């Protein structure tokens, strides 16, 4: 399984991903699911992936190959020269469709799921900061002020805290706490989601990867929030009024 969450607040984009993959419960591995690119001052992009790992790795490999060919002087459109974040999402969607066309039927014939999802977050010079969610068919949707976050993978456990506290006006420190708490709730209830985590922040207008930090289980910020929240929930529970029966 996987849990990745991306928030779009006025102050910027906040992305948090776990690193656990599994093929059945007896085959567990650690893979990075969060990938960043930047041309400082021009654009910053973060992709987070969930679903069939061969599909998502194929998409990433083809994205990187195109970038290398463009760097070598070839005239090829890439996520680093696309004219808008919308075009970046289309490029990812097109590659998703290619991968699905090649592998979906053989995978399904073997009883293996081919579904995959990619969250595309970023900003380019002259455009707004945006988050897109690209689905298996290659179509995508964009986060809006009414629903300023996307989740992929095991989304339910970590959704209530986001529903309760996140709005586009949330300050950056609250957004960071919220994604940590959202991940904490997911880790507590689903063993197929696990540390270490990858935290990426792209501040609005910075046009660079502002933060790219790996969070280990012993990370003092993680421990402080995880244990602090457990204590606060127990204390809050104690203050709830009794139900009359």
Which residues are at the interface with a copy of itself (CB under 8 A)? Answer: 156-157, 159-161, 163-165, 172-174, 176-178, 180-181, 185, 188-189, 199, 201, 210-211, 213, 221, 224-225, 228-230, 232-237, 239-245
Kindly tell me which of 138 and 158 has the beta carbon lying closer to a copy of itself.
158
By C-beta, is 140 or 222 nearer to a copy of itself?
222
Rounded Cα–Cα distance for residues 51 and 228 (Å) = 32
Task: Indicate the residue among 120 and 162 with the shorter CB distance to a copy of itself.
Answer: 162
- Report in angstroms how near the CB of residue 45 gets to a copy of itself at its nearest: 19
Closest CA to 218 of 227, 210, 209: 227
Closest to a copy of itself by CB, 97 vs 159, is 159
CB of 165 or CB of 208, closer to a copy of itself: 165
**Tokens at residue 73, please?**
């002087």
Toward a copy of itself, which CB reaches closer, 67 or 211? Answer: 211
Distances (CA, A) of 47 to 30, 43, 73, 87: 17, 13, 25, 14
Is the previous residue joined to 196 through a cis bond, with omega within 30 degrees of 0?
Answer: yes
3-state secondary structure of 135: coil
The nearest distance, CB 34 to a copy of itself, in angstroms, is 15
Q: Is 190 left (phi over 0), alpha (psi -120 to 50) or beta?
A: beta
The edge-to-edge listing of strands for the beta sheet with 3-9 is 149-153, 3-9, 12-17, 197-203, 211-215
Closer CB to a copy of itself, 67 or 225, in the complex? 225
Shortest distance, position 27 Cβ to a copy of itself, whole Å: 24
Helix (H) or strand (E) holding 85: helix 85-109
Q: How does DSSP assign 28-80, residue by residue? A: EEE---EEEEEETTTEEEEEEEEE-HHHHHHHHHHHHHHHHHHHTT-----TT
| Residue 214 CB, nearest approach to a copy of itself (Å) | 13
Neighbours of 74 (CB within 10 A): 10
């Amino acid at each position: 399984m996987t849990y990745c969450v991306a928030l779009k607040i006025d102050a910027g984009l906040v992305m948090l991903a776990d690193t656990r993959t599994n093929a059945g419960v007896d085959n567990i591995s650690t893979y990075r699911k969060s990938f960043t690119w930047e041309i400082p001052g021009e654009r910053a992009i973060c992709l987070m992936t969930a679903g069939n790992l061969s599909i998502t790795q194929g998409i990433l490999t083809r994205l990187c190959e195109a970038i290398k060919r463009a760097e070598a002087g070839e005239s090829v459109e890439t996520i680093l020269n696309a004219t808008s974040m919308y075009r970046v999402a289309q490029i990812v969607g097109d590659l998703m469709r290619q991968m699905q066309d090649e592998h979906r039927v053989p995978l399904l014939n073997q009883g293996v799921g081919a579904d995959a999802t990619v969250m595309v977050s970023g900003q380019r010079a002259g455009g707004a900061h945006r988050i897109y969610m690209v689905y298996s068919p290659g179509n995508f949707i964009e986060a809006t002020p009414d629903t300023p976050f996307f989740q992929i993978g095991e989304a339910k456990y970590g959704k209530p805290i986001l529903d309760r506290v996140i709005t586009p006006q949330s300050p950056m420190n609250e957004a960071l706490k919220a994604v940590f708490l959202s991940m904490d709730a997911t880790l507590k209830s689903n063993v197929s989601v696990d540390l270490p985590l990858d935290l990426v922040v792209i501040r609005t207008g910075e046009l660079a990867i502002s933060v790219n930090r790996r969070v280990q289980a012993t990370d003092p910020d993680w421990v402080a929030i995880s244990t602090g929240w457990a204590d606060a929930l127990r204390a809050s529970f104690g203050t709830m009024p009794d139900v009359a029966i």
